[in-house]
Amino acid sequence: MSLFLCLFSLALYSAGSLAAPSPSQNIILRDLAVPRFFGAAANTTFLFHDVNYTKVIETQFSIFTPENEMKWESIEPEPNGFDFTAADEIVRFAESVNAKVRGHNFMWGNQLPPWVNDTLSATELDRALKNHITTIMDHYRGKLYSWDVINEMISDNTPNETFKDNIWTQKFGEEAMPKALTYARAVDSQPKLYINDYSIEGINSKSDALYSVVSSFLADGVPVDAIGFQCHFTLGQIPDTLQENLQRFADLGLDVAITELDINLMGPSNATALEQQAKDYWTVVNACVQTKRCVSTSVWGVSDDHSWIPNGSVLPWNAEKQPKPAFYAIADAFEGKPEP
């Protein structure tokens, strides 16, 4: 550009005739996160159908979790009738932007197709589980970084009970989780095998129960590589033992990851609330950064208008796909800067 044109452009910019460049344009969170991953739940309802969503998701993230596309009701809606269409779209997209994929999930009590029900005998359900895991892992062999093999199986009523009462524990009892993990490892030795859950982020009776279960698995040779901490939080409610808790699971020789992070304002999206939300995001990401074996932080969605929580303004981008204070706080945490 000539000196004249450069000065002319600066004059226009100063006069307000040109739009100011967004300060977020040069911030790429996936780059700042290295050697960790920064991820998001990806959803084919919006991918390529919402231009601004697609622009953010293809730029900012280095790992994706299919939000619904790999859940049992979506991927095997009929017995041995697999539909990989939507899940394949996310895997191809991830490959196109040099990102990894976390498979999600195999054993969960929710979002099961009608045919997976308690009329199946234990033998029939066992056969269905093994076939489900084997077929899907074979399909994605060499393409996925990890799998949430187990999702939300620890009871909310600890210490009175350890496992949730669902079809898996009703049929298999305490052998439910080891079955799924063993079947998964038998298919493919490469992907990291995760147990993923909520309300285990701080040191409490539920995380204590999981810690005990995982310790026994490791002692018994049950294959488990990592723990996923969902981190669906309410504003100002980050447990002060988050980092300590991540570390104690890491000390077992496991990877740990923040897998489904969002922070619900539970009220108006005003400056005060957004400031606290930014601090909360910083706190969570910083806890991961400070834990050597914390391999990734993923938000559950991308922008507020496409969140599973429709009215909580829970994500780092607003409905217009513009970065919120939380976005900059995440960047600060990855860069080792102090709390905003």
Bridge partner list, 228: 196, 257
**pLDDT of 176 strictly over 80:** yes
The answer as to whether 22 is a domain residue is no
**Domain total of the chain:** 1
Distances in whole angstroms, Cα of residue 54 to Cα of each of 27, 214, 323:
17, 38, 14
The answer as to whether 283 is a domain residue is yes
The 10s digit of each residue's pLDDT in 115-166 is 999 999 999 999 999 999 999 999 999 999 999 999 999 999 999 999 999 9
**pLDDT of 11 strictly over 60:** no
Close Cβ partners of 199 (under 8 Å, ≥ 6 residues apart): 156, 206, 207
The answer as to whether 4 is a domain residue is no
- Angle (deg, nearest 10), helices 205-220 and 242-250: 10
The answer as to whether 312 is a domain residue is yes
The 10s digit of each residue's pLDDT in 67-82 is 999 999 999 999 999 9
201 catalytic residue (yes or no): no
Q: 28, 210, 63, 209: which is closest to 147 by C-alpha? A: 63
The answer as to whether 251 is a domain residue is yes
The answer as to whether 155 is a domain residue is yes
The 10s digit of each residue's pLDDT in 193-246 is 999 999 999 999 999 999 999 999 999 999 999 999 999 999 999 999 999 999
**pLDDT of 7 strictly over 80:** no
Set 260, 275, 320, 339: catalytic member: 260
Res 23: pLDDT: 58
Q: What is the CATH number of the domain that holds 52?
A: 3.20.20.80
The answer as to whether 240 is a domain residue is yes
**pLDDT of 20 strictly over 70:** no
pLDDT category at 8 given cuts 50, 70, 90 is very low
Domain of residue 180 covers 27-334
The answer as to whether 3 is a domain residue is no
Per the CB < 8 A criterion, the answer to whether 153 and 180 are in contact is no
